[in-house]
């Protein structure tokens, strides 16, 4: 199945559609009003990255089918796919490990919530692990991978400090572990732990990528 481009295209197009539906649902598009502040959350931004990635992969796979036929490699944009897969993995891990236990209720199993925090991350991770050719990452890449979550931290911190009124459900800051109003400088302890964990996973991914190529 890995070398069946028709399968790859169907998977990627379906993943694109599901990702889009999840984003629209969580933003309130199906309830009559867009919740624009939802775009400020890491979950939404990482899902938008995945949406763009699946869109690009779908187009590239379709072009490969038209040019070279239905049989063959479906590995494209490997380094970018790795970055996006790891970025959305942060959404998956932090949500289910830290946030979901605090948000128990019927909304936890709602389609949009499950999609953006569970299904979309797993689809992107599967696509990278299943389709991407190994040996494409460079030794310096894990440090570049950290740019996205650190850039989000900088963005959300700046928005929080510049806002006089709450812009998130929880207040001026989107998540309890970066809430300077409640934690103060202890936020940097969380940041150090999360960054170390993220880099650890990134270097494990680099080690996985460096293993012998698939037969």
Q: Domain spans of the chain?
A: 5-209
Q: What is the model's pLDDT at position 212?
A: 59
Q: Do residues 4 and 70 touch, judged by C-beta distance below 8 A?
A: yes
Q: What is the model's pLDDT at position 168?
A: 81
For 107, counting Cβ atoms within 10 Å of its Cβ (0-12 exposed, 13-18 middle, 19+ buried), the class is: exposed
Q: Which of 56, 55, 26 is nearest to 40 (CA)?
A: 26
Q: What is the model's pLDDT at position 71?
A: 94
What does the pLDDT profile of the chain (215 residues) look like in tens digits?
A: 788 999 999 999 999 999 999 999 999 998 888 888 899 999 999 999 999 999 999 999 999 999 999 999 999 999 999 999 999 999 999 889 888 887 777 778 889 999 999 999 999 999 999 999 999 999 999 998 889 999 999 999 999 999 888 888 778 999 889 999 999 999 999 999 999 999 999 999 999 888 756 54
Q: What is the model's pLDDT at position 171?
A: 84
Residue 23: strand, helix, or coil: helix
Q: What is the model's pLDDT at position 7?
A: 97
Residue 87: strand, helix, or coil: helix
């Amino acid at each position: 199945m890995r070398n069946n481009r028709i399968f790859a295209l169907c998977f990627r197009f379906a993943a694109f559609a599901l990702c889009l539906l999840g984003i629209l649902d969580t933003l309130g598009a199906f309830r009559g009003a867009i919740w624009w502040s939802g775009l400020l959350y890491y979950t939404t931004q990482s899902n938008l990255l995945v949406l763009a990635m699946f869109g690009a992969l779908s187009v590239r796979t379709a072009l490969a089918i038209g040019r070279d036929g239905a049989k063959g490699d479906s590995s494209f944009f490997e380094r970018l796919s790795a970055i996006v897969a790891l970025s959305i993995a942060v959404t998956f891990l932090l949500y289910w490990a830290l946030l979901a236990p605090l948000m128990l209720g019927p909304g936890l199993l709602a389609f949009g919530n499950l999609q953006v925090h569970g299904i979309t991350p797993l689809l992107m991770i599967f696509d990278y692990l299943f389709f991407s050719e190994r040996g494409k990452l460079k030794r310096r890449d894990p440090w570049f991978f950290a740019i996205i979550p650190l850039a989000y931290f900088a963005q959300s911190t700046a928005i929080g400090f510049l806002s006089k009124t709450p812009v998130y459900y929880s207040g001026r800051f989107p998540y309890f572990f970066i809430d300077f109003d409640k934690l103060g400088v202890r936020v940097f302890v969380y940041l150090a732990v999360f960054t170390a964990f993220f880099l650890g996973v990134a270097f494990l991914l680099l080690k996985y990528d460096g293993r012998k190529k698939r037969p």
